[in-house]
């Protein structure tokens, strides 16, 4: 492709609206242009890179036994009401009404389409398993689109859906997709990690997120320094402590603690560490009183709690709840819980004893609260927010925090959607059973942005070769030198005939402009043909990733460029 004919409008200056590197550089290098908040046009260079990511994804999906289909984007609302997601997604859905007044929506993901499709056409257990996927635009009316392509309202996603006869089959299908996802991201050249995650609104149980490491990433995750545990902060659990020794427990003693409704105030008044106190946080789960116990230096992870009670809605106590149910806000302790309250404790509570906790009386606490002598715990669960310095639950190693961009998310759905959608098959015993489903999302456009985020420098993009718009850029540095023109044409044609994707900068512009644009666009290998080299019988090669340059003889320029390309990341 000749750059003189390519619609690749590069910008000399940073667009004012772009803050993060990928956004700034994808705009400047002429890959995308904005149309509205979170809505972009993809230009030829962007289309090429995105198509590479799509093809790698298709390749791995096909190799894993998944089959490509294409579902509509405009969808009827009814199935979404059946699964409850019409309301659950709420404002996040792009809704529209057709001329007959029927409610429609733009697909944010498509379980509601694919499950009925399979149910209607594969009625027997003999037809299973099956895995269908598509690469299609998805629509989510995000509260706040931002960071260029990283958080948009319209994005290209590969979504796959597996259908199995039983849970064992579902897990096997899941494992196959898990492995395929690892390969896709490896092939795209992303520095990535796979973490245990929170299922969010998709729901279900076991799920993993595939994350590209990035400082500007919106997602926090933890990783064990020994490399054996990775988890999203919303799902991460610290190692449970050894149970505290239960001998010589202190007796319960009421303390006068004026004006100490917070842990900080209490700890400083008594001169103790926050972790010696027991925090009792009150929630309402559909009318049911729920007390959650965590050490005073810990925060309750509400997403974990919500998951535990799902689908029952959970909310923290408001002032009126404390009054109506007889609790003193700021001074609640577990020893005063009525029988009908559910008392949950985080595993870390097992590691403590002789707790200082609320006396359920204004300006008073107790010391020496012990379980089960003084209070009961109905269930121990993982309920605390993870934090830097926590121990890995696998081997006790130190956990570190990292930031990332979520590029893929896969779920074991079980019958969460097949049941409400009545998507079932006839099993061997002649009885209709709902499919055991899995769903698997991969953000194609987001992978492109994540790669740009990971691979750039001050001058521009540095594409991994697998997803670069072109593998080699040939730069004609001096147009007025006849031999240089002829040699550059020859090298361009030579590379093209060898099946290499080549961008040929044959424009009239000054050399400096071309070099700057080449670095900006970021093809892995640059071949510079100019007077200087021609006179010495050579051309210059440059590896964009490292900036490394070398001179090679004119005659073998194409081979040398290919060798360099082979060594490129």
Partner RNA sequence: CGGGACGUAGCGCAGUUUGGUAGCGCGCAGCGUUCGGGACGCUGAGGUCGCGGGUUCAAAUCCCGCCGUCCCGACCA
* Residue 516 is a binding residue for RNA (CB under 7 A): yes
Contact 277, 356 (CB under 8 A): yes
CB closer to RNA, 399 vs 520: 520
Task: Label residues 276-295 b or e (16+ Cβ within 10 Å = b).
Answer: bbbbbbbbbbeeebbbbbbb
* Residue 478 is a binding residue for RNA (CB under 7 A): yes
* Residue 513 is a binding residue for RNA (CB under 7 A): yes
Tokens of 377: 């715990």
CB closer to RNA, 281 vs 343: 281
* Residue 287 is a binding residue for RNA (CB under 7 A): no
Supply the minimum distance, in Å, between the C-beta of residue 223 and RNA: 17
Query: How many of the chain's residues bind RNA (CB under 7 A)?
Result: 73
* Residue 71 is a binding residue for RNA (CB under 7 A): no
| Piece of 4-12, 122-130, 282-290, 307-315 that binds RNA (CB under 7 A) | 4-12
Lookup result for tokens 């027991």: 278
Coil, strand, or helix at residue 362? coil
* Residue 19 is a binding residue for RNA (CB under 7 A): yes
28-47 positions binding RNA, by CB under 7 A: 34, 36-38
Whole-angstrom Cα distance, residue 293 to residue 279? 6
Q: What is the chain's Cα-based Rg?
A: 30
- CA distances 347 to 145, 244, 377, Å, are 38, 12, 11
* Residue 406 is a binding residue for RNA (CB under 7 A): yes
Whole-angstrom Cα distance, residue 153 to residue 149? 9
| Piece of 111-119, 283-291, 333-341, 516-524 that binds RNA (CB under 7 A) | 516-524
Please identify which residue in 319, 458, 480, 482 interacts with RNA, judged by CB under 7 A.
480
* Residue 479 is a binding residue for RNA (CB under 7 A): yes
339-398 positions binding RNA, by CB under 7 A: none
* Residue 75 is a binding residue for RNA (CB under 7 A): no
- Binding mask 451-470 toward RNA (x if CB under 7 A, else -) reads --------x-----------
Contact 208, 200 (CB under 8 A): no
Supply the minimum distance, in Å, between the C-beta of residue 409 and RNA: 3
Tokens of 20: 């993060």
Supply the minimum distance, in Å, between the C-beta of residue 428 and RNA: 33
Query: Nearest-CA neighbor of 139 among 198, 95, 190, 78?
Result: 95
The set of residues, in sequence order, having a beta carbon less than 8 Å from that of 541 and lying 6+ positions away, is 525, 526, 527, 528, 549, 550, 551, 552, 560, 561, 564
* Residue 434 is a binding residue for RNA (CB under 7 A): no
Coil, strand, or helix at residue 391? strand
- Binding mask 87-126 toward RNA (x if CB under 7 A, else -) reads -----x----------------x-----------------
CB closer to RNA, 326 vs 547: 547
Please identify which residue in 195, 267, 491, 534 interacts with RNA, judged by CB under 7 A.
534
Sheet containing 364-369, strands listed edge to edge, beginning at the edge strand earlier in sequence: 253-256, 364-369, 355-361
Angle, CA 275 vertex, CA 270 and CA 279 arms, to 5°:
90
Question: Which helix (H) or strand (E) segment is 411 a member of?
Answer: strand 399-414
Phi/psi at 506 (nearest 5 deg)?
-105, 15
Supply the minimum distance, in Å, between the C-beta of residue 266 and RNA: 26
| Piece of 119-127, 261-269, 276-284, 400-408 that binds RNA (CB under 7 A) | 400-408
Lookup result for tokens 């960071």: 147
119-178 positions binding RNA, by CB under 7 A: 140, 142-147, 150-152, 155, 157
* Residue 433 is a binding residue for RNA (CB under 7 A): no
Whole-angstrom Cα distance, residue 535 to residue 484? 9
| Piece of 247-255, 362-370, 405-413, 417-425 that binds RNA (CB under 7 A) | 405-413
Strands (E), 150-218: 154-164, 192-196, 207-213
* Residue 206 is a binding residue for RNA (CB under 7 A): no
Angle, CA 358 vertex, CA 318 and CA 386 arms, to 5°:
70
CB closer to RNA, 81 vs 403: 403
Supply the minimum distance, in Å, between the C-beta of residue 442 and RNA: 6
Handedness of CA 408, 414, 416, 417 (dihedral sign): positive
* Residue 17 is a binding residue for RNA (CB under 7 A): yes
Please identify which residue in 202, 290, 344, 359 interacts with RNA, judged by CB under 7 A.
202
Supply the minimum distance, in Å, between the C-beta of residue 281 and RNA: 17
CB count within 10 Å of CB 98 equals 10
CB closer to RNA, 170 vs 211: 211
């Amino acid at each position: 492709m000749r750059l003189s004919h390519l619609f690749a409008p590069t910008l000399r200056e940073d667009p004012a609206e772009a803050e993060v590197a990928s956004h700034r550089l994808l705009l400047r290098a002429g890959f995308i242009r904005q149309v509205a908040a979170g809505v972009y046009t993809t230009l030829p260079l962007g289309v090429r890179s995105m198509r590479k990511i799509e093809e790698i994804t298709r390749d791995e999906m096909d190799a894993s036994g998944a089959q490509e289909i294409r579902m509509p984007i405009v969808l009827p609302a009814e199935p979404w009401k059946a699964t409850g997601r019409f309301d659950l997604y709420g404002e996040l859905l792009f809704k529209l009404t057709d001329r007959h007044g029927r409610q429609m929506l733009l697909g944010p993901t498509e379980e509601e389409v694919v499950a009925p499709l399979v149910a209607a056409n594969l009625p027997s257990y003999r037809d299973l398993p099956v895995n269908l996927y598509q690469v299609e635009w998805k629509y989510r009316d995000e509260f706040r689109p931002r960071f260029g392509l990283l958080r948009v309202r319209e994005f290209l996603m590969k979504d796959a859906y597996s259908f199995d006869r039983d849970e064992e089959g579902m897990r096997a299908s899941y494992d196959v997709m898990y492995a395929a996802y690892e390969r896709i991201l490896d092939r795209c050249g992303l520095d990535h990690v796979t973490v245990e995650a929170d299922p969010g609104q998709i729901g279900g149980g076991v799920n993993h997120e595939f994350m590209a490491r990035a400082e500007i990433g919106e997602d926090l995750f933890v990783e064990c320094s020994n490399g054996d545990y990775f988890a999203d902060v919303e799902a991460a659990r610290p190692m449970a402590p050894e149970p505290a020794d239960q001998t010589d427990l202190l007796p319960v003693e009421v303390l006068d603690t004026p004006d100490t409704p917070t842990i900080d105030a209490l700890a400083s008044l008594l001169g103790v560490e926050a972790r010696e106190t027991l925090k009792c946080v009150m929630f309402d789960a559909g009318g049911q009183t729920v007390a959650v116990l965590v050490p005073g230096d810990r925060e309750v992870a509400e997403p974990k709690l919500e998951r535990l009670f799902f689908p029952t809605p959970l909310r923290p106590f408001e002032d009126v709840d404390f009054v109506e149910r007889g609790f003193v806000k700021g001074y609640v302790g577990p020893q005063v819980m009525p029988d009908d309250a559910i008392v949950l404790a985080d595993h870390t509570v097992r590691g403590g004893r002789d707790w200082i906790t609320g006396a359920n009386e204004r300006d008073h606490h107790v010391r020496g609260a012990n379980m089960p002598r003084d209070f009961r715990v109905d269930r121990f669960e993982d309920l605390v927010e993870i934090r830097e310095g926590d121990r890995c639950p696998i081997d006790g190693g130190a956990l570190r925090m990292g930031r990332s961009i979520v590029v893929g998310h896969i779920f074991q759905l079980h019958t969460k959607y097949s049941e409400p959608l009545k998507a079932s098959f006839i099993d061997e015993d002649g009885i209709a059973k709902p499919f055991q489903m899995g769903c698997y999302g991969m953000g194609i456009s987001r992978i492109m942005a994540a790669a740009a985020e990971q691979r750039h420098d001050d001058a521009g993009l540095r594409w991994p070769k697998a997803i670069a718009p072109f593998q080699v850029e040939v730069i004609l540095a001096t147009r007025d030198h006849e031999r240089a023109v002829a040699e550059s044409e020859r090298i361009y044609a030579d590379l093209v005939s060898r099946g290499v994707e080549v961008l040929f900068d044959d424009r009239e512009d000054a050399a400096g402009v071309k070099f700057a644009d080449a670095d900006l666009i970021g093809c892995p290998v640059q071949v510079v043909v100019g007077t200087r080299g021609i006179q010495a019988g050579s051309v210059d090669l440059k590896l964009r990733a490292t900036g490394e340059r070398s001179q090679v003889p004119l005659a073998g320029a194409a081979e040398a460029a290919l060798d360099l390309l082979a060594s490129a990341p």
